[in-house]
Structure 1
Amino acid sequence: MASIPLKKNKNKAGTGSTGSFFRQWGMFFRQFMKHPGMIGSVIPSSATLVDRMLDQVDWRNTRLFVEYGPGVGTFTRSILDRLPADATLLTIDLNLDFVAYLEAEIDDPRLRVVHGSAADVRRFIKEAGHYQADYVLSGIPFSTLPDGVGTAICAETRAALRPGGAFLIYQYSRYVCDMLTPLFDDVSDSLEWRNIPPCRMIRAVKQDLMAQAA
């Protein structure tokens, strides 16, 4: 399904007010209560986790960044703060309430919000006018997905990434690593304790074509 155009406020990404802060937390908590299996935690990611995940990105050479499950935009706003002016951020979410919230709250021409499954990432990338993504970030709780869905998302993500691109995942378990290892050439895992609860940071890199030929 295509993005849902709504009247947007005047705030640019990275700016906000006390009112927008409480709207964000209120929306996050309500959606967690309605769909706990889709969100994974009642508390949004910490600023430390956000910074450590995004510090892995070569922003200067990024033209398409994809985010799965943006929710209320905890990562989205920080991505836009770092993203080059001529780049695109494509966010994909199954939750229509989150899609509508982001459309209304973030006014940035680089942002494209779509409603749908991460398993359809290649179609959404094509519809956005791109061929492959430089990075894909995901907070989807893979351990709660129906059988086969997580594996399909990982496979489609690898196909959607350019050679040398990376799949960046933040999770509360290593469950997804078993899905990544057969598909990606380099999978690493570390723990960020300064998050509630402590969160795993997983990076899966698609091998560069030059490395394959060597």
Structure 2
Amino acid sequence: MTTRQYAEEALPQKLKRRVKQFFGPWGVFFEGFVRNPVMVGSIIPSSDRTIAKMLGPVDWDECKLFVEYGPGVGTFCRPVLDRLRRDGALIVIDTNPLFIDYLRKTITDSRFTAVLGSAADVEDIVLSHGHEHADYVLSGLPFSTLPDGVGPAIAAGTWRVLRPGGAFLVYQFTAKARAFMERHFRRIDNGMEFWNVPPAFLFWGWKDEDADV
């Protein structure tokens, strides 16, 4: 291969780096969506209004462990860390190495852990990081497009890993996620946020205080 051919081959990579640098986290998020749209679900991160409304019901004084599925470029991570108690912990789980690598490089808070893995393995992940249960679990994963069996496995594992009184916080672009949640959570609060692209359905599934752990 000639020097000119090497230069021509390297040009797309240089262009990609410049685009990512120019757009910052939005560029990383867009690349993650292009690589795996089924798992990311949206082409842009959630709005500030969605974040505020989604996190509104959380009792931060009682939150020792907050877990997030599909954190992307950290749209929710920073607001969660801003609210989280000083001795709390945030574990995020994503199957996309691009996002996990980005988060590990850009979030240096000692309370933060980014795990490359599946949300279906949340119980093992929580235990392996020294916790017995999670207080809250947040998910923006597109349940309606996940591979067969993955959605039900995530919903079941989430219910088991939550402490009694904890909640599964879900934001989606269709209402289908509620069907997965209803199999385990008897109380589900509903909301909607139109100032989001696309508009988001919001669900808060609460684990009964007297539920078996």
Shorter-chain TM range is 0.7 to 0.9
Given that residues 21 and 27 in structure 2 are in contact (C-alpha distance below 8 angstroms), is that contact kept between their aligned partners in structure 1? Answer: no
Is residue 24 of structure 1 aligned with residue 25 of structure 2? Answer: yes
CA distance in structure 1 between the partners assigned to 2:41 and 2:190 by the alignment? 19
- 3-state DSSP of counterpart to 1:136: strand
Which residues of 2 match residues 193-208 of structure 1 at below 5 A? 193-208=194-209
1:129 aligned residue: 130
Shift of the 133–99 alpha-carbon distance from structure 1 to 2, 3 Å rule, reads same
Is residue 156 of structure 1 aligned with residue 153 of structure 2? Answer: no
Q: Any idea what the Cα deviations from partners look like across 1:7-46, whole Å, max 9, x if unmatched?
A: xxxxxxxxxxxx9883201101111111111111111100
Identity, % of aligned positions: 49
- 3-state DSSP of counterpart to 2:24: helix
Is residue 36 of structure 1 aligned with residue 37 of structure 2? Answer: yes
Q: Any idea what the Cα deviations from partners look like across 1:130-175, whole Å, max 9, x if unmatched?
A: 1000000000000110111100100000000000100000000111
CA distance in structure 1 between the partners assigned to 2:95 and 2:121 by the alignment? 11
- 3-state DSSP of counterpart to 2:183: coil
Shift of the 203–20 alpha-carbon distance from structure 1 to 2, 3 Å rule, reads farther
Gaps of 5+ in 1: 1-18
Structure 1 residue 188 displacement after superposition: 2.0
Work out which structure has the larger RCO, using CA pairs closer than 8 Å and 6 or more positions apart in sequence.
1
CA distance in structure 2 between the partners assigned to 1:101 and 1:91 by the alignment? 12
RMSD of aligned C-alpha atoms?
1.5
- 3-state DSSP of counterpart to 2:135: strand
Q: Rg bigger for which structure? A: 2
CA distance in structure 2 between the partners assigned to 1:193 and 1:202 by the alignment? 14
Which residues of 2 match residues 1-214 of structure 1 at below 5 A? 22-209=23-210
Letter in structure 1 aligned against 2:47: S
CA distance in structure 2 between the partners assigned to 1:196 and 1:154 by the alignment? 25
TM-score w.r.t. the length of structure 1 is 0.87
Structure 1 residue 47 displacement after superposition: 0.5
* Number of residue pairs the alignment of both structures matches: 193
